[in-house]
Amino acid sequence: MTSLLTDAEHNVAAPSSALLDVRNLRKYFPIMGGLIPRVVANVKAVEDVSFTVKAGEVVGLVGESGSGKTTTGRALLRLTEPTSGEIMFDGVDIAKVSAKRMRDYRKEMQIVFQDPYASLNPRLTVEDTIMQAYRIHGLWDPTERRDRIVELLAAVGLSRHHLDRYPHEFSGGQRQRIGIARALAVNPRFILADEPVSALDVSIQAQVINLLQDLKEQFGLTILFIAHDLSVVEFISDRVIVMYLGRIVENAPSESLYRNPIHPYTEALLSAIPIPDPEATYERKVLEGDIPSPINPPSGCVFRTRCPLATKACAETVPVLEEKRPGHFAACLRR
């Protein structure tokens, strides 16, 4: 039986090469109104987002609820169509390819969903769930497919005995392992992990994170890891991108961002991470107010309405994401 590692060796690439290059990505959701329906406003969920993900890299994408991180991820896979911008995957702008051609890229780009129960069809067994990927893409000889599924299950910590079971017969952690196995079935090069542990118990979160780390090394995966828990992101990510109200406010190597953040929003997020020491003292930076509406975002810097450093200039000028330190980018006029 051919090993999965051998089949996945084509995924391994030089870590310096950019597998994904996102340029000026925007996603607006129109709001209709009037007796004669017309667009009266737009929800600006993603606004002028640009970043790269190198082959073999794990990039964390973080921010509060409503910051646009999940919409960004879904737009990258064209699960929701981007309004404008370029999504260069291995040198090809997949934002402009036809639906038929995009199907070929589905094998290269897969997603692990947030809810491990809602993302699985309750009427399908584990074997049928993963078998669908082989049938849709015409992969492997029908006589080999069951053996391939058994190998996949072994890779994610499950066994042959789970083949005929249904989603309701598994725990949340096991269901997420099935979701990961389904994503790996077509030997993708890029995995979008959309808050894959947020619905799990804390003890199970560590197991799934360790599993993703192991699979990343085994299969040469490139991962965009979306989360709101910065402690989880620190553990798995090589680099971290911080979003606020649809824009990137900081982008830096993980160690640099956690040790010396630049943007006030990042500082506030990091100060909210609980420290497991009852005697430890530290200054918590609490943000006042709520995240503004993406229908009518603030002028200038979108964070200025909650920023302790904001000045009049912050209301007049949109800060550019620029390199403040080697490899460390931030969009802030005051720093």
Write down the pLDDT at residue 277: 64
**Contacts with 1 (C-beta within 8 Å, 6 or more apart), sequence order:** 147, 151
Rounded-to-integer distance, Cα 224 and Cα 114, Å: 13
Per-residue pLDDT of the chain in tens (335 residues, 90 and over written 9)? 444 544 444 444 434 478 999 999 999 999 999 888 899 999 999 999 999 999 999 999 999 988 999 999 999 999 999 999 999 999 999 999 998 899 889 899 999 999 988 999 999 999 999 999 999 988 889 889 999 999 999 999 999 999 999 999 999 999 999 999 999 999 999 999 999 998 788 888 889 999 999 999 999 999 999 998 888 898 899 999 999 999 999 999 999 999 999 999 999 999 887 776 666 666 677 787 788 999 999 999 999 999 989 999 999 999 999 999 999 999 999 87
- Report domain extents, the chain: 4-237, 264-335
Rounded-to-integer distance, Cα 151 and Cα 155, Å: 6
DSSP string, 233-299: HHHH-SEEEEEETTEEEEEEEHHHHHHS--SHHHHHHHHTSPPS-TT------PPPS-PPPTTSPPS
User: In this structure, which CATH number among 3.30.70.250, 3.40.50.2000, 3.40.50.300, 3.50.50.60 belongs to the domain 4-237?
Assistant: 3.40.50.300
In this predicted model, what pLDDT tens digit does every residue of 136-180 receive, in sequence order? Answer: 988 889 889 999 999 999 999 999 999 999 999 999 999 999 999
Write down the pLDDT at residue 120: 95
Write down the pLDDT at residue 252: 97
Write down the pLDDT at residue 282: 64
